[in-house]
Amino acid sequence: MNENEISKIIVDAAIKVHSFFGPGLLEKTYQECLFYELISRGLRVEKEKSLPIVYQDLVIEHAFRIDLLVEQKVVIETKSVAALAGIHLAQTLTYLKLGNYKLGLLLNFNVEKMINGGIKRVICGDL
């Protein structure tokens, strides 16, 4: 399965979770439910995957944590905020660059409808 095929499943799962709860919950709740939903669809998902960073001779093993990594290909960053900000996009892009991933999904569950502003595709390199 390629990144685009995986992302369609993720978006469908995110919409299902959001339809069940609606907005207003903590980010962690949505993350856990999305993790469960993706696993139940047969996808391999890592939760809070550590991402190291290297600066010269210094290696920081657990510098970052990716909320969800699906099939070792798609990074998911979950949010529950009034509006996505540039820093959220920058954070997701940083994870893509450091992990050498091509596609990330920035998902904000604190919206009226996921399809209207709750889903942001983040691409790094050629997809």
Q: What is the pLDDT of residues 35-85, one digit of tens each?
A: 999 999 999 999 999 999 999 999 999 999 999 999 999 999 999 999 999
Q: Report the pLDDT value the prediction gives residue 124, as an integer from 0 to 100.
A: 93
Q: Report the pLDDT value the prediction gives residue 78, as an integer from 0 to 100.
A: 98
Pairing state between β 58-70 and 45-55: antiparallel
Task: Name the phi and psi angles at 77, rounded to 5.
Answer: -115, 120
Task: Name the phi and psi angles at 53, rounded to 5.
Answer: -135, 145
Q: Report the pLDDT value the prediction gives residue 76, as an integer from 0 to 100.
A: 98
How far apart (Å, rounded) are the C-alpha atoms in residues 25 and 3?
28
pLDDT band at 125 (very low <50, low <70, confident <90, very high): confident
Whether pLDDT at 127 is above 90? no
Q: At what angle do helices 27-40 and 3-21 cross, to 10 degrees?
A: 120
Average pLDDT value for the chain: 96
pTM: 0.94
